[in-house]
């Protein structure tokens, strides 16, 4: 029997959290679930832990080389057999009602994509919704312009790019969608943006059913200049491949501007740390906005950067 949902878990050295993630996927109520774990060449016991589950419930695929989260997700997509596909990070969890609620809302609306709110779970155990519930209650559908418009550096702590969508598999196949393997941060954002740009309709389940576990040292919490440069290249490819409406184009212009300013600021900080004042001055002359960002202490600004541009 075909599963209702394939839950894709891209894993890399996740032995400490992978069992928690798998258990939450298998605990889903009201839907038939298969879990696909795509291991991205872990050096710890991630594969051993995932392989300890019954093979008819949890499929483990081991990559031959490290391809990053996008590559691991693509491998998982290739073997997934569910009518719907849901992404779950290896250090996150889901509420038991999540997938049934999202499928119900999507199918009632004739939509191919569904998103929900996230609970930000901190290391001390405290948690809070990522987005104000009343805001999502007033947002029955997520548009491309709204997704792009929130995905700006320096503007807010979280963006809609953090959402973990569920996709109808038939739509993904028809649209020919795959994850960008050049990105180590932002691969989920560009995948969702591409799905929306290719006509996908996305409903919003306002309930807080995805648990986003903050973990010190996670790559999604540490933003490097190379990550921003990769996002700029991915956005340029996205613009070449899709025709955007005026509202989405205006939002993209703001996003591009914020990414360029973020890249300038990170380059400036790098030169200052390397005690290269002439190079720092060159960056400041090319993009004076980088100097304005220095009004906030560097450490605080970097903390905001590390949370503003990830998926």
Residue-level pLDDT at 42: 98
pLDDT-based confidence at residue 295 (cuts at 50, 70, 90): low
156 or 256, which is more confident?
256
Q: Which residue would you say has higher pLDDT here, 266 or 87?
A: 87
116: left (phi over 0), alpha (psi -120 to 50) or beta: beta
Q: Is the pLDDT of residue 62 over 90?
A: yes
* pLDDT given for residue 289 in this prediction: 62
User: Tens of pLDDT along 128-180?
Assistant: 999 999 999 999 999 999 999 999 876 666 789 999 999 999 999 999 999 99
Residues 245-256 have a mean pLDDT of: 97
Query: Which is it for the CA torsion 76, 142, 134, 214, positive or negative?
Result: positive
Residue 301 has pLDDT above 60, yes or no: no
Q: Above pLDDT 70, what percent of the chain?
A: 82
Whether the predicted pLDDT of 277 surpasses 80: no
CB 84 within 8 A of CB 111: no
Tens of pLDDT, residue by residue over 206-238, are 999 999 998 764 444 467 888 899 999 999 999
* pLDDT reported for residue 214: 83
Q: What is the average pLDDT value for the chain, to the nearest integer? A: 88
Which pair of structure tokens corresponds to residue 44? 């710890």
Residue pLDDT, tens place only, 117-130: 999 998 777 789 99
Q: Which residue has the tokens 């695929």?
A: 61
pLDDT of residue 201: 98
Nearest residue to 87 via CA among 115, 66, 63: 115
pLDDT digits (tens, 9 = 90+) for 14-60: 999 999 999 999 999 999 999 999 999 999 999 999 999 999 999 99
State the pLDDT at residue 156: 65
Residue 258 has pLDDT above 80, yes or no: yes
């Amino acid at each position: 029997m075909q599963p209702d949902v394939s839950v894709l878990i891209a894993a890399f050295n996740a032995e400490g959290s992978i069992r928690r993630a798998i258990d939450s996927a298998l605990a889903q109520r009201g839907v038939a679930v298969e879990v696909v774990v795509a291991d991205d060449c872990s050096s710890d016991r991630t594969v051993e832990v995932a392989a300890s589950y019954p093979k008819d419930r949890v499929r483990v695929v081991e990559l031959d080389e490290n391809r990053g989260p996008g590559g691991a997700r693509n491998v998982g997509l290739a073997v997934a057999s569910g009518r719907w596909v849901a992404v779950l990070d290896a250090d996150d969890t889901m509420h038991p009602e999540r997938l049934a609620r999202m499928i119900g809302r999507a199918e009632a609306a004739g939509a191919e994509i569904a998103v929900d709110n996230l609970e930000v779970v901190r290391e001390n155990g405290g948690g809070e919704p990522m987005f104000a519930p009343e805001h999502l209650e007033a947002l029955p559908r997520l548009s491309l312009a709204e997704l792009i418009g929130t995905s700006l550096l320096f503007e807010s702590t979280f963006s809609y790019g953090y959402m973990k969508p569920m996709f109808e598999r038939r739509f993904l196949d028809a649209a020919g969608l795959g994850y960008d393997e050049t990105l180590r941060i932002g691969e989920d954002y560009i995948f969702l943006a591409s799905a929306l740009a290719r006509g996908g309709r996305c409903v919003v389940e306002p309930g807080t059913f995805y648990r986003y576990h903050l973990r010190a040292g996670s790559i999604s919490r540490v933003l490097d200049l190379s990550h921003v440069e990769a996002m700029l290249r991915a956005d340029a490819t996205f613009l070449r491949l899709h025709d955007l409406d005026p509202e989405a184009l205006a939002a993209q212009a703001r996003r591009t501007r914020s990414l360029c300013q973020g890249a300038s600021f990170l380059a400036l900080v790098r030169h200052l740390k390397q005690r290269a004042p002439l190079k720092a001055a060159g960056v400041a002359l090319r993009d004076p906005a980088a100097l304005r960002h220095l009004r906030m202490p560097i450490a605080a600004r970097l903390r905001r950067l590390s949370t503003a541009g990830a998926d």
